Amino acid sequence: MMKIIVMCLIPTFLILPSVILRFSSVEPFHRGYFCEDTSIKYPYVEQQTVPAYLCLVTWTILCLVHFSIAYVTHKSKKMLFAALYKLILGFSLCMFITDVSKYSLGRLRPYFLAVCNPNLEEVCYQIEDSYIEVEDSDYSYTEIHHPKYVIENNTCTGNEDLMKEARLSFVSGHSSISFYIAMFLIIFMKEYIHKKLWRTMLQFTHIILAYWISITRINDYMHHPEDVIMGSIIGIACAYIIMFMEEYSVPKVEKQKDNPESFEMTVK
């Protein structure tokens, strides 16, 4: 009983920081910026190709399909619950790493300046008085505008909620979650779907889907390329860590006709 309670508490504690960060007034790290930085001067796209809710719904449906296939094939609730637990545990771990990275680093999204909308004259430049010598005259007065690194608070005039979201670029949550679930299902299929042709086609499709979702984040100016790459790496790493944990390994069905409900715990 105690072991079951501990197993349930682990993913709860892992997902708790993400819930607190996302649904509280906690602000991400406020990183400074140069107004002439072209990497954060892209337009803000309101209609995203793959919104967060659509990403989660898509992968949830795929997980349900695969779990249904596995259950119909092997008729084992034990196998199904073990796989579901590992999916939730890995998802919690992936979200924990992703959101802690986002709020700790506070990297600016490519559209940051579009929603920040700072006063260019007052905020972005350091004005220096200067005199230059002009022919047939004394000295002429001029002003030199030097770009400065803006670190002061309250320099943006945009919406506060948009500003908070604009500081959460690294790493890409779409990429980390997509590649985590894709790799989880790929490994899951390798263990429980034995028709090689169908399994290979499904595995390839899942990788392409995760890759496409990640690419849309760059096309929509929501993330820098390195945000997406690192998110993908985190997702893949979480999938391998969870799927190959020795203590809570998904049981592999023994291929014995006379005892189809027996299992052995294996670690690849």
Residue 207 identity: I
Residue 14 scores a pLDDT above 60: yes
Q: How confident is the model at residue 198 (pLDDT cuts 50, 70, 90)?
A: confident
Residue 3 has pLDDT above 50, yes or no: yes
pLDDT surpasses 50 at 233: yes
E strands present in 63-176: 125-133, 139-147
Confidence of residue 229 (pLDDT cuts 50, 70, 90): very high
What pLDDT band is residue 8 in, cutting at 50, 70 and 90?
confident
Q: What pLDDT, on a 0 to 100 scale, did the predictor assign at position 256?
A: 38
Report whether pLDDT(146) > 80: no
Confidence bin at 190 (pLDDT 50/70/90):
confident
More confident call, 173 vs 130 = 173
Tell me the CA distances in angstroms from 39 to 31, 169, 249, one per residue in order.
14, 12, 43
Write out the catalytic residue numbers: 174, 223
- Out of 65-69, 156-160, 262-266, pick the least confident: 262-266
- The whole-number pLDDT of residue 209 equals 97
Q: What's the confidence (pLDDT) of residue 248?
A: 43
Q: 193 and 70 in contact (C-beta within 8 Å)? A: yes
Between these two residues, 128 and 117, which has the higher pLDDT value? 117
Q: Which of 126-140, 192-206, 208-222, 235-249 has the highest mean pLDDT?
A: 208-222
Measure the CA angle with vertex 46, ends 25 and 21; round to 5°: 20
